[in-house]
């Protein structure tokens, strides 16, 4: 996502992403709220249950309708995700349907990227298959079901041609807007995001150059062809 964890969430980095061996969590940032949300959470900006019923994108979205294969999610003791929250935590192999869960103005932030807006954050996710072999989820655990949703994620990345595996530990934070859609995903490597003028400029530059190099499908037909090609590599 970063580009690494994105497999993602996922997501999306799941949230997208994108970290599951025994139990499979829908990958980067992922990615990205239905059961009962405690009233006290509303003070922190979590949409109410009634608001979710009216506006939640996952009212009509489900694992099956979005084509999400990995549906097993590990939750820390005391954490109980709603069905909508589970859908927001979709994992890698992104499609246009997955991004219907994201706000068009959402942002994806990791140590090397600050992608704001659909054109930029989609490119970050679609660019993963061009750089990495299928990303393997080593482990994951949802440690908070509030807003943001917090996920501890360990992904194994193998750069194509190099064939050397790199393990990255992340804490992924998925912020949900009042409309129930993903508003921001933070992929924090080792639970940190470097700050500063120089690193911020580099991240924004990366967010601009990647969309120029990565193809993002414009139609569902084109999207499904790209998805089929990715799955051949798995």
| Percent of the chain at pLDDT exceeding 90 | 20
The pLDDT score that the predictor gives to residue 133 is 82
Peptide bond into 148 cis (omega under 30): yes
Report the CATH number at residue 133. 3.10.450.50
Residue 190 domain-assigned?
Answer: yes
Calculate Rg over the CA atoms of the chain.
Answer: 16
Tokens (6 digits) for 51: 């608001």
Distance CA 33, CA 124 (A): 25
Residue 16 domain-assigned?
Answer: no
Question: Is residue 152 within 8 Å of residue 75, measured between CB atoms?
Answer: no
The pLDDT score that the predictor gives to residue 212 is 85
Model confidence at 64, pLDDT cuts 50, 70, 90, reads low
Angle between helices 118-126 and 197-213 in degrees, nearest 10: 70
Residue 64 domain-assigned?
Answer: yes
Residue 108 domain-assigned?
Answer: yes
Residue 90 domain-assigned?
Answer: yes
Its domain, for residue 44, covers: 39-229
Residue 32 domain-assigned?
Answer: no
Residue 76 domain-assigned?
Answer: yes
Residue 4 domain-assigned?
Answer: no
Tally of structural domains, the chain: 1
Lowest-pLDDT range of 85-89, 97-101, 164-168, 210-214: 85-89
Alpha helices in the chain (DSSP H): 39-42, 49-55, 63-66, 83-88, 118-126, 128-131, 197-213, 220-232
Residue-wise pLDDT tens digits, 177-214? 999 899 999 999 999 888 887 778 778 878 888 888 88
């Amino acid at each position: 996502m970063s580009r690494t964890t994105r497999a993602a969430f996922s997501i999306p980095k799941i949230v997208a992403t994108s970290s599951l061996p025994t139990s499979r969590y829908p990958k980067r940032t992922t990615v990205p709220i239905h059961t009962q949300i405690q009233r006290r959470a509303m003070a922190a900006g979590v949409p109410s249950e009634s608001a979710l019923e009216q506006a939640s994108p996952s009212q009509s979205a489900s694992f099956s309708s979005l084509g999400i294969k990995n549906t097993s999610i590990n939750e820390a003791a005391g954490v109980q995700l709603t069905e909508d929250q589970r859908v927001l935590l979709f994992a890698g192999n992104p499609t246009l349907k997955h991004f219907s869960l994201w706000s068009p103005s959402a942002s994806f932030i990791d140590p090397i990227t600050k992608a704001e807006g659909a054109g930029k954050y989609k490119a970050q996710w679609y660019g993963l298959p061009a750089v990495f072999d299928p990303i393997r989820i080593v482990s994951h655990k949802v440690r908070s079901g509030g807003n943001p949703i917090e996920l501890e994620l360990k992904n194994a990345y193998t750069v194509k041609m190099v064939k050397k595996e790199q393990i990255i530990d992340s804490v992924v934070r998925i912020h949900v807007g009042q409309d129930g859609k993903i508003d921001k995903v933070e992929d924090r490597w080792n639970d940190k995001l470097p700050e500063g003028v120089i690193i911020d400029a580099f991240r924004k530059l990366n967010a601009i150059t990647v969309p120029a190099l990565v193809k993002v499908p414009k139609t569902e037909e084109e999207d499904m062809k790209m998805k089929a090609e990715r799955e051949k590599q798995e």
